[in-house]
Chain A
């Protein structure tokens, strides 16, 4: 057997070694021994079938007003005539039994049941089915004609032929399905009334026609209830009612009682109260969808190409802009700059979360959007999906001359401010950025050409700046000011200007201005070209900032993202008229006012509001009220650099006398940046590892599956927004607030950087104040726990450097750490950290009697209750198997030891039960067995 060749193929060059024939024979021989398991089809279908309801339907929604087709396909064929009354169980699987009260009977369809008056006639059908649903039973006050009876039930086609007689009613019970829609999407009927309600704990609707649509039955009333099933919002139980006068109203009420009696087996599960559970479920659904989409549509060669699902931020409500190469229909053939976001909200009756994803993009000034909706039940299962809008065009190319935003990477890397930072500035208010024009120039050139408004400071005209004109859409503006320095109200702009000092990072932006009505020059006078190696030195002189809080001040604590680091404001009242000052509460409401203002509280004439803009990194502030109440000055303590977004701070004040806010000037002095800390000299080697720089570490990061332990020197940059996640190992890497990383930078002034994740062994180090410190970190990329990030984020997590230990302030940090017990009467551990370390090291002994030092180095020894292990080692439990269940559920102590194997540079992790050391109070020093030590090698 030989390799194939297409007529159009160029022959492949012959390979040395086995020829094609021998190789093909070996392949064939290898394949011949493959026996396809006989149960594989059944097993596969067992996995496919339950997902049938959640299978995506990627068609578009029908226009509003056009009712969705409810598919109830009635099977063909004539019923076999016979004498059955249809009261026995029939082909539809429905049974009738005694009802909950003597005057009622129950129709039981297995997955749902309804009650109906005992004097009604009840018929099962012959189980007419189709892909959309089935007709299951007929409830009626009018007997079904004998000719309609079949062996297993009445023929519904025959029943439909039967007209209603005076004073009679009929309900046809069945199921149906919306193709590509949910019950929420179905439009209201146009010739009647659609009422949305909840029945049986599920969303439902009832259609009542103004005029009975078909007088064939001579019905005077007609209504149809459709009740979504817990399995899927796209499948419904359907009760089709009609009645003829007299007493049609009473029949209508009876039919409504039938609908209201519906209950499902199993019943729908209410959503948990915690909204975070919805976010977790939604994120998991998106991860699964992204992985599934990638599996189905993305070429193996395109691992670096982003799909539209990759574009969604880790958390809801957060906009992300990304070049997307795969749209909902597959490969676009090019990349489209797309703005993406998602939201989660509970829907009617709180039975489901609705996950809405929205994608927007602009091509040739035409803005388009596409959206997908997922409905997720309390178990996390996706029970329905739908899509709407237009998908990005699969062919074409960006307009000539339009510079994609991504090009800033090539330009901005030469200065202290990074491309990510500048795009963040442009996108700080949730803007969508389609295009950005960038100049590296002087502030004087920008002033003379575009005359931007002052934002936060007033550097000299010689200051080197980036001038960036963004094209896109910007709808909200929490921190923006207009030319007069006043807050910009909500609105929409298509072009805006940001000026950033090129040699200051992140917070160095000075101007931001709407440029919608201005002609943007293509060239700036005197604009310089990017310089390859600008002088990176920048060390501002710290301003005078005296002891804090000042004498006589009242300190108010304001909430911060990091609960352990609240923002505090010292209020100095020189006027002597301040009666009360406090942080606003929810009851105080949010007056409609600029972000920087002193105003009278609209809700209370006696109160005043003081607002100003700052960042979450500013934790110490002083508010000074002038003696004559003519001015208020807000100062911020100097601090390290800060990448954080701006936020608004607010105080509620009461004075002993009336104050005219218009007569009070407000001055906000932003924080000055402290010079970078100067660290003691860093070592060239640590734990037997050569200390390398960030650039060298990034080369290792780029290699697949290289999880060797390395030591890296660099400058620490802490992202304060993730402090809580970093300190508490409650989740792994991408859980909850994680996903924003601390970073290690090549130098104090920037350069290449790599994302960091701090494990619990170093969670107390560094502290927030140590951002900007030169350190050496020891850890690895490609952590085995990256898989716990989900399929979508696994690769990204694998690129994060997991810090196992570190060197700072001239010495390694402590290797020992503890997660305290949750409470209760807890005994002291039997063993010590040294015992645990010795037990782990003993594994490295070839000869237990050897006296030579171990060829391994203990990096950390942790002590914690066993039930916390799953949080720290989310991938260990499946590996460990059922034998470890007790370990993972136990409140008893366990030890978690990481050891650097110096022969392989690999990190090895050991989990040791503390009970191992508890035998009669003595320490058992022996090589642990598998029962005692669980090793999880990387």
Chain B
């Protein structure tokens, strides 16, 4: 068990609140700036949850379309970042839901690249194991793991983003982590 670190600083610079304010009042130019500023983060979050390019692309686009339609209702500008992440998580859930009824399964091109990378770098095997294991988990568990372990969101942040009590966050994180460990073990044991 590694030592816990202090909270990681956000990767991205904070958004200018006036941009959000303007977007709330219908300023499309301001919203376009937000899209440009936050697309990377939203796409990476979507990809981390969904695990493939096509779905992440759809989810990222859906996130901003939904955000544009609903940002006028946002009452607390200071919560925009958390709100946008929740929209992204919900968008990922919706995309995943629409996909799961399909009888076809896409093989992301990234998988091929990952296998090649394993040969060159043994630590890439962990990445591949994580990738495969994550796909076996419900999307809700993927989301909370990604937000915590990749996005660096603390438990209190997760409670804010997911709109659930802190205790529930801890419980779910515990359950998700245990499920992930089991899935990784299963993947490694194949």
Contact = CB atoms under 8 A, between A and B. Distances in A.
Query: A and B bound?
Result: yes
B65 A47 contact: yes
B170 A295 contact: no
B77 interface: no
Interface in B72-113: 72-73, 75, 83, 86-87, 89-91, 93-94, 98, 100-104, 110, 113
Contacts of B87: 295-296
A40 B66 contact: no
A42 to B, nearest CB: 10
Contact of B155 (A12, A15, A47): A12
Nearest to B3: A2
A879 B103 contact: yes
Contacts of B57: 37, 40, 43
Interface string B135-178: 00000100100101110111111000011100010100110011
B128 to A, nearest CB: 9
Contacts of A331: 163
Interface stretch (A3-11, A115-123, A520-528): A3-11
B1 interface: yes
Contacts of A31: 44, 47-48, 150
Nearest to B64: A44
Contact of A705 (B47, B94, B100): B100
A518 interface: no
Contacts of B66: 292, 295-296
Contacts of B90: 294-296, 298, 300
Contacts of A17: 180-181, 184-185
A53 B177 CA distance: 44
Interface residues of A, number: 77
Interface string A51-76: 11001111100000000000000000
A40 B131 contact: no
B148 A299 contact: no
Given A40-B61, A56-B69, A879-B104, A29 B28 contact: no
A34 B2 contact: no
A545 interface: no
A13 interface: yes
Contact of A299 (B35, B123, B163): B163
Contacts of A18: 126, 181, 184
Contact of B69 (A28, A55, A179, A330): A55
A15 B178 contact: yes
A131 B47 CA distance: 35
Contacts of A13: 174
A677 interface: no
B145 to A, nearest CB: 8
B153 to A, nearest CB: 7
A784 B101 contact: yes
Interface centre among A56, A59, A295, A331 (most CB of B within 10 A): A295
A44 B170 contact: no
A333 to B, nearest CB: 11
B155 A6 contact: yes
Nearest to A289: B69
Given A33-B110, A34-B44, A295-B90, A55 B149 contact: no
A914 to B, nearest CB: 23
A26 B130 contact: yes
Contact of B61 (A28, A47, A936): A47
B39 interface: yes
B87 to A, nearest CB: 5
Contacts of A294: 90
Interface in A308-335: 328-331
Interface string A879-903: 1000000000000000000000000
B190 interface: no
A4 B75 contact: no
Contact of A9 (B94, B154, B185): B154
Contact of A302 (B25, B31, B68, B163): B163
B68 A55 contact: yes
A180 B4 CA distance: 49
A147 interface: no
A17 B45 CA distance: 24
Given A6-B156, A30-B48, A47-B61, A19 B1 contact: yes
A374 B18 CA distance: 28
Contacts of A43: 57, 61
Interface centre among A13, A36, A293, A329 (most CB of B within 10 A): A36
Contact of A27 (B32, B102, B146, B174): B146
B35 A41 contact: yes
B182 to A, nearest CB: 8
A160 B162 CA distance: 54
Given A41-B35, A44-B35, A5 B163 contact: no
A8 to B, nearest CB: 6
A329 B124 CA distance: 46
Contacts of B155: 5-6, 9-10, 12
Contact of A16 (B89, B100, B181): B181
A924 interface: no
Contact of A23 (B68, B130, B143): B130
Interface string B46-65: 01100001001100111011
Nearest to A878: B102
Contact of A329 (B27, B69, B73, B153): B73
Contact of B154 (A4, A15, A52): A4
Contacts of B181: 15-18
A15 B26 CA distance: 46
A297 interface: yes
Contacts of B75: 329-330
A297 B127 CA distance: 33
A791 to B, nearest CB: 7
B50 to A, nearest CB: 11
B19 interface: no
Nearest to B152: A4
A797 to B, nearest CB: 12
B4 A34 contact: no
A774 B181 CA distance: 49
Interface in B11-35: 25-29, 31-32, 35
B64 A301 contact: no
A300 B89 contact: yes
Contacts of A34: 43-44, 47-48, 56, 110
A823 interface: no
Contacts of A59: 72
A55 to B, nearest CB: 6
A328 B70 CA distance: 10
B72 A6 contact: no
Contacts of A329: 73, 75
Interface in A604-628: none
A294 B69 CA distance: 12
A17 B184 CA distance: 9
Contacts of A49: 28
A41 B40 CA distance: 9
Given A16-B181, A33-B110, A44-B61, A51 B164 contact: no
Interface in A89-141: 131
A787 interface: yes
A780 B6 CA distance: 50
Q: Lowest 7 CB-CB distances: which A-B pairs, in order? A: A17-B181, A299-B163, A21-B2, A296-B70, A6-B154, A29-B127, A26-B130
21 contacts: A2-B5, A4-B148, A4-B152, A5-B5, A5-B7, A19-B2, A23-B180, A29-B126, A31-B150, A33-B114, A55-B68, A58-B73, A131-B26, A131-B29, A297-B70, A299-B163, A300-B86, A300-B162, A301-B164, A787-B101, A879-B103
Given A15-B178, A30-B130, 10 more contacts: A2-B2, A6-B7, A6-B154, A16-B181, A31-B47, A56-B69, A57-B26, A179-B25, A296-B90, A330-B75
Interface of A: 1-6, 8-31, 33-34, 36-37, 40-41, 43-45, 47-49, 51-52, 55-59, 131, 179-180, 291-302, 328-331, 705, 784, 787, 791, 875, 879, 935-937
